Amino acid sequence: ADMSKVALLSKHTITICTRALKQTCSIHETIRVKSAAWEDNGVLVFTTLNHIKYALPNGDSGIIRTLDVPIYLTKAKGSSLFCIDREVQTGVMAIDPTEYNFKLALVQRNLDQVLYMVRNSKLPGQSIISYLQQKGYPEVALHFVNDERTRFSLALECGNIVVAQEAARALNDPDCWNSLAEAALLQGDHQTVETAYQRTKNFDKLSFLYLITGNTEKLAKMLKLAEVRGNLSSQFHNALFLGDVSERVRILENTGLAPLAYLTAA
């Protein structure tokens, strides 16, 4: 529309160049290209023998709709395509430009437009999700996903611990909780790490978490819990973390390691 780009059409290839004929991208089509027209926003709409397609300035392309008979475009404007057919009859064809307008807004990093379209447009699901993941926009893809496992993966990918925790609660899968714990630990979110370790009953890591966060009150509870579980190794580690010498001596005595108990007491 601003005359800054030109599209060179050949039998199976569309080459988009600047006005100085510097190539910016090339699109290969297996089916013969028939015609093309520029949209005002800089999207190239083109036809093949049996499809109407679009090409973005960065070279991404997709299908708008299928065709029963070939047509030749004369103009593209909004949701209308002006064309002629093989009988040299003119016509106007309605299309849905939502998908390529959404992708164009992403390419141009027009986030206000992206959010507006997320909230107000009915975008096709899986193809948009795959595109957003591929292009590095998992936080936008989250708005289109209902499947909890997919939401969990996307939330971790974009570092959204809150959404990841919601999905983990819904899934209640130990592997998800472990992945969440790792991601939350990298962000320093020790409350979420604590929840994940509690859900997976990872008592050793939970004790170490309380040690590095200085939570001696909960370490003391972990010591009592280890005693209830009858886990002597865990009891000793928690007593060591607490600096409780008398408790370590008692544990060593109860396990028949009197010499070590004596050395510990000394």
pLDDT, tens digit (0-9, with 9 covering 90-100), for 2-31: 788 999 999 999 999 998 999 999 999 999
CA distance 34 to 48: 5
Report the mean per-residue pLDDT for the chain.
86
What is the pLDDT at residue 141?
74
- Residue 115 backbone zone (phi > 0: left; psi -120 to 50: alpha; other: beta): alpha
Q: Are 164 and 156 in contact (CB under 8 A)?
A: yes
**Sequence-ordered strand ranges (E) for 19-98:** 23-28, 33-38, 44-48, 51-55, 61-66, 71-77, 80-85, 90-94
SS3 9: strand
pLDDT, tens digit (0-9, with 9 covering 90-100), for 201-241: 999 899 999 998 888 899 889 888 888 888 778 887 878 78
- Please report, rounded to a whole number, the percentage of residues in the chain having pLDDT higher than 90: 44
Q: Are 27 and 13 in contact (CB under 8 A)?
A: yes
pLDDT, tens digit (0-9, with 9 covering 90-100), for 167-212: 999 999 999 999 999 999 999 999 999 999 999 999 989 999 999 8
User: Span 72-94, mean pLDDT?
Assistant: 93
- Residue 72 backbone zone (phi > 0: left; psi -120 to 50: alpha; other: beta): beta
Please give the backbone phi and psi of residue 257, each rounded to the nearest 5 degrees, phi first.
-105, 65
SS3 content of the chain, % helix, strand, coil (to 5): 50, 20, 30
pTM over 0.75: no
